[in-house]
Amino acid sequence: MPDRPLETPEGIEIPLVEDPWEKFANPSQEEKDSFRAIAVDISSRGMVNAALEVALPEGIEGQWVANDPKEIARLKTLGFVEDTEFALKNALHNDGSGRAVIGDTIHMLIPKWKKEIINAERDKKFFAKHGFKGGGHLMQEERDFLANDRSIIGTFSDSNAKTTTIVKET
């Protein structure tokens, strides 16, 4: 890029034009900070995460659930109700029903005390089946094994034989 205006053979001075790529090569600190904020927001999906956070009054729990009639009916049986008040401003989609919709989920509400009971019962069933991590409790499979006669698990006497004979350990 020349450092002074150009002159035509007729003596007409052509002013210098700013290089359009120069601003990309040397951005200001303000431009860098502005872009950083946008990049972080987009890369962390902050816009969707912000829409999923619903401000609720004390004593009410909210949950985004599958927008499936069977799942909604199951949750209504447990005490959930469809949210038509608190999450509407967070909705990204509109299905015409007045419910808050994001993708294939809707927002449902339940009193906190009911949710605590549901969680406690769910945890009780989970730990009864799977045991506690490092807690010394036996898992369901281990309890079944100990309840049965452990001697039914035998060893193979000859793996080269055409028939297999199970020898009961004594």
What's the rounded mean pLDDT across residues 156-164?
A: 56
Tell me which residue range forms the domain holding 66. 57-117
Tokens matching residue 110:
């339940």
What's the rounded mean pLDDT across residues 79-89?
A: 89
Q: Would 170 be classed as within a structural domain?
A: no
Angle at 142 between CA 141 and CA 146, to 5 degrees: 120
Q: How many angstroms separate the first and last alpha carbons of the chain?
A: 96
Q: Would 144 be classed as within a structural domain?
A: no
Q: Would 135 be classed as within a structural domain?
A: no
- Number of domain units in the chain: 1
Question: Per-residue DSSP letters for 36-57?
Answer: HHHHHHHHTTHHHHHHH-----
What pLDDT is attached to residue 5?
62
Place of tokens 């969707």: 48
Question: Given pLDDT bands bounded at 50, 70 and 90, which one contains residue 18?
Answer: low
Q: Would 69 be classed as within a structural domain?
A: yes
Q: Would 63 be classed as within a structural domain?
A: yes
Interval 31-80: pLDDT, tens: 888 888 777 766 666 566 667 788 899 999 999 999 999 999 999 999 99
What pLDDT is attached to residue 28?
82
What's the rounded mean pLDDT across residues 89-118?
A: 86
| Sign, Cα dihedral of 92, 93, 94, 98 | negative
Burial class (CB in 10 A: 0-12, 13-18, 19+), 30: exposed
What pLDDT is attached to residue 121?
92
